[in-house]
Amino acid sequence: MTKRRTSTSPSRRASDAARAAVLALGLIVAAGPGPAQETGSPLPVATLDQEALFLKSAFGQRLQRDLETQRDALTAENRRIESELIAEE
């Protein structure tokens, strides 16, 4: 049986050296300068109240009226069906 030995060929040593160099370069890049991401002054932020915009717009008010009309019609239909079922009993 043959014993396993680590290769000592020049190409293997060069490959190990290249692998170590790539690893070192990766670690250096990963630990790069943090201050490069900082900004000089904070940026302004705008917030919107979506519900208020919706309810105060003409589209939002029209949609709200349409939904209320549909709701009222559905409620009336449910009451009519309920009264018919009670009358059948």
pLDDT of 13: 65
42 falls within a domain: no
84 falls within a domain: yes
Range of the domain at 54: 50-89
pLDDT of 80: 97
Residues 6+ apart with CB under 8 A from 8: none
11 falls within a domain: no
Give the chain's domain count.
1
44 falls within a domain: no
- pTM higher than 0.75, yes or no? no
80 falls within a domain: yes
pLDDT of 26: 77
71 falls within a domain: yes
Q: Which residue has the higher pLDDT, 5 or 62?
A: 62
6 falls within a domain: no
How do residues 24-51 score in pLDDT, each as one tens digit?
877 777 766 655 566 677 778 889 999 9
How do residues 4-27 score in pLDDT, each as one tens digit?
666 555 566 667 778 888 888 777
